[in-house]
Structure 1
Amino acid sequence: MEAQLEPDQSPSLFPFIFAIIGLVWYVGLWSIGLLGCRTGRRRYRMRPRSPLATAPPDSIPGVSILRPLKGLDANLYENLESTFTQEYPDFEIILSVADEQDQALPIARDLISKYPSISARIIIGEEVVGVNPKVNNLIRSYREATHDILWVIDSGVSVAPGTLARSVDLLESPTYTRPPKRRVAVVHHVPFASATEGFLGSRIEEAFLNTNHAKMYLAINTVSIESCVVGKSNLYRRSDLERESNDDRDCTHGLAAFGKFLAEDNMIASALWHELDLRHDLSCDVVHIAIGKMSLSDYVWRRVRWIRVRKHMVLAATIMEPFTENLMASSIAAASLRYLFGIPIWLFLVVHHAAWLWVDLDVYESLAGHPLPADRRWWFFTAWCLRELLALPIWFLAMLGNEVIWRGKKYEVLRAGEVKGTSGDGNHGGLFRLFTRWRQQDSHYQPLPSNHSDT
């Protein structure tokens, strides 16, 4: 009799094991989320003034601020002006454009005239060192910069007046005390988005960047077991970049060596981390992004683009990404708890989603410095829900191909995140051509896409 029961009993072990694994995974995700929430509270709810802000100019390191320009980003004047008003005694600003007809040039010239006491200049004309147009735009500024410390900041973001001083504080901080001793090589900033236009894609992008993206970004950088850097605003030393990025195959070095990558920001940070064994640090400042006209299609293809880039850089993490998303994680946990403890699925899901949303809103408040405004709550909650619902379909769409559209050009993503240009008109086709019917002629970051990078 016992011999007959064993075949029937053994299969029940597998659901039990899967339920335990699912529950452990869920607890792990909550630990990461709560770590991001706690980091946001501790790091961003108080921003002290740096002593470097009032130090004598000859007692502090100089900084070259490099801002690549391309077209009229949303709030471009305010974005650029925020670097002219930095509370720091010794810096220069270099604004670069690839084309002398660029629409951003009049604004750049107006600001230079408005702030004659600031050392600022414009460099017109790119140098093609790779397929990445942002690197091509920056390379002359990189080489002509006066100072070793470079602050590369996208044209689509603005910063608080004390950001530079607090960032240099971190970059110049003493060597890490715990072994292995590692010097800070990159100081970066969490992006905080504001939807300046009432477009659906803009609202969803705002909800994504200010909650789930920020929460995971803060947690990963707090644990610091791997490089994770977004390139909206980064400080690093040119001397470090020249030292670690030599490429014997094509004799390129420094910033030029990263022109073959679409996500050059992530690759620079990763190279400093792995090749020179240096570390990164997050400032207590955020960079503010004004999101212009972004349709739902724009949002979808923007997320697709960066998932396709990531899957060629960190394939295992990209494959696991759906299991870190709210809906998938909660479904796994609900099934596990129902099997192990008989907890009703509907009850668990109600409690879970309420708690998950509360944590996301807490991260938002930490970065914003204020609660979510009452007149924006309905839109924000709607956009948050749509972001959660779209996460899995976007991931599947991204995994089905290797081509991406960036700034009107089509690229194929290759091994290790390298890209090559391909033929095409820069429109999305195939089974998903329906998305393009929703595209606006002057889509997000109007009227021309900016030089932004993403995670």
Structure 2
Amino acid sequence: MTFLLYAQKMATVIYTVYGVAIFFFVFWCGTWGVHLIAILYGKWKLHKKTSLPCEIPVPGVSIVKPLMGVDPNLFSNLETFFTMDYPTYELLFCVEDESDPAIMLVKRLMEKYPNVDARLFTGGGNVGVNPKINNMQPGFLAAKYELILISDSGIRMKEDTLQDMVSHLKDKVGLVHQMPFTCDRDGFAATLEKIYFGTAQARIYLSAAFLGVNCHTGMSTLIRKNIIDEVGGLQTFSGYLAEDYFIAKSLKERGWNMSISSQPAWQNSGLCEIHSFQARLTRWAKLRAAMVPHTIILEPLSECMVLGAFASWAVSFLFKWDALVFYLVHILVWFLLDWILLCIVQNGSLSFNKFDFVVGWLFRECSSPYLFLHAQWHPEIRWRGRTYRLKWGGIAEELKPKVKV
């Protein structure tokens, strides 16, 4: 009887190990499907020339620009919004702090381009914990057009970017968003940012967009104003730090579709440092874990080095393949597919050479698991000089500094 119990326990253990190995192998196979979807969809979708139909009136667009502080590229970035080739739009600049130096830059541009409809709002509002929504609230309420473009301060526009975004706003499409990418800039930190947004971020973003999964980031978003007004305006989402995700979720629940623009969002911040970039990635990881808890397991498994290690063990256990050879081939193929995807997103010559890509790619892939673990170990979020704690579901509460007595 004792022997039978022991045999049953051993069989259970063996079956469990086989099940775990099969899971890792199947998950590994699925990631290659994600790679291929991103490459094929990116090749088909991105950088296509679009134009607005001539036979119908072009809708007006109210562009809400929340600003905070000044960086070396802010003036040139904002100027691109004054020189767009679009017939009817207004610029609504929102600055919460009335002593912010960004106000001076905005006024200079308004004087330089007096024919462009532009207004400046200072002071913000106090409708929730989200500082971005508080900042944008006066501009959003004053918007006079049916379409709203929410655009972060570091975004740079091409002359036809707004045309491209409006052209994707078809029937039943309530929101058009741009896939995050970066402009060409000098330095290793800029190279690292471009590699991340052109590979790991682009892979998930494009495949999710193709499959209809909510992948929306709010750095450059065109949305129908009445859709937001129906649920009470922007302030409805002010309890979340990731308001972009919950805005898109609200739209989808009401039957609206989303579309990505053929042009990516050209991020062009003048302050580009490895530490600040990694802090940004860590903050996003904390937000994803709070909003979609299953990403705590799936996200680290989607990383090249981590998944390759588990998959190498799985094929060694299941098929008796050489684990080291499998791991090295896995890394090489992943690397090559990331290079192909980055070239598709860039749509032209890269600002760095292949050696820089190898170094930047290895640095990102090796540091990513650490950043994810660090995010889970320190769940509080520091953003715009404030500290927040996230609850399950993404609801945020601001942690006030303790007053010393």
TM-score (norm 2): 0.91
Equivalent position of 2:320 in the other structure:
342
Q: Does 1:240 align with 2:222?
A: no
Match for residue 385 of structure 1? 362
1:146: Cα distance to partner?
0.9
State how far apart, in whole Å, the 2-side matches of 1:405 and 1:262 are: 11
After alignment, is 82-91 or 151-160 more displaced? 82-91
**Contact 2:71–2:271 (CA under 8 A) maintained in structure 1:** no
Contact 1:229 1:269 in 2 (8 A): yes
Report what 2:90 is aligned to: 92
Give the counterpart of 1:256 among 215, 231, 235.
235
* Unaligned stretches of 5+ residues in structure 2: none
Helix, strand or coil at the partner of 2:199: helix
Q: CA deviation at 1:17?
A: 3.1
Amino acid corresponding to residue 43 of structure 1 in structure 2? K
Task: Map Cα deviations across residues 316-362 of structure 1 (whole Å, 9 max, x no partner).
Answer: 12332111111111112212222233322222222221211111122
TM-score by length of 1: 0.82
Alignment partners' CA distance in 1, 2:336 and 2:320? 26
Deviation by residue 1:116-151 (Cα, 9 ceiling, x = unmatched): 222112122211111211111110100101102100
Correspondence for 1:286 among 242, 264, 274: 264
Q: Which moved more, 1:281-290 or 1:186-195?
A: 186-195
Residue 378 of structure 1, CA deviation: 2.6
Shift of 1:159: 2.0
Matched residue of 1:416: which SS?
coil
5 Å matches for 1:50-449? 50-52=51-53, 55=54, 59-171=57-169, 173-174=170-171, 183-194=172-183, 196=185, 198=187, 200=189, 202-224=190-212, 226-243=213-230, 245=231, 253-274=232-253, 276-373=254-351, 375-424=352-401
Aligned equivalent of 1:21: 23
Cα distance change of structure 1 residues 424 and 193 upon mapping to structure 2, 3 Å threshold: farther
User: C-alpha displacement at 1:41, in angstroms?
Assistant: 1.1
Distance 1:84 1:289 in 2: 17
Letter in 2 for 1:398: A
User: Alpha-carbon deviation of 1:403?
Assistant: 0.9
Contact 2:50–2:167 under 8 Å retained in 1: no
Moved more, 18-27 or 286-295: 286-295
Q: Deviations over 1:396-428 (max 9, x none)?
A: 221123311001211111232121221349xxx
1:249 aligned residue: none
Q: What secondary structure sits across from 1:152 in the alignment?
A: strand
- Is 2:188–2:360's contact at 8 Å kept on the other side of the alignment? no
Equivalent residue of 1:380, what SS? helix
Give aligned pairs, total: 398
Q: Distance in 2 between matches of 1:294 and 1:163?
A: 24
| Superposed displacement of residue 262, structure 1 | 0.8
Instruction: Tell me if structure 2 keeps the 8 A contact 1:160–1:285.
Output: no
CA distance in 2, matches of 1:167, 1:92: 16
Q: Give me the whole-angstrom Cα distance separating, in 2, the residues matched to 1:406 and 1:330.
A: 34
Distance 1:10 1:314, change over 3 A: closer
Aligned-partner residue type, residue 97 of structure 1 = V
Amino acid at match of 2:187: G
CA separation in 1, counterparts of 2:61 and 2:287?
Answer: 31
Quote how far apart the aligned CAs of 1:21 are.
2.0
Asked whether 1:36 is paired with 2:38, we answer yes
**Deviation of the 1:312 alpha carbon:** 1.6
SS of residue paired to 1:318: helix
**Between the two proteins, what is the percent identity of the paired residues?**
29
Distance 1:273 1:356, change over 3 A: same
* Correspondence for 1:445: none
Structure-2 separation of matches of 1:99 and 1:388: 38
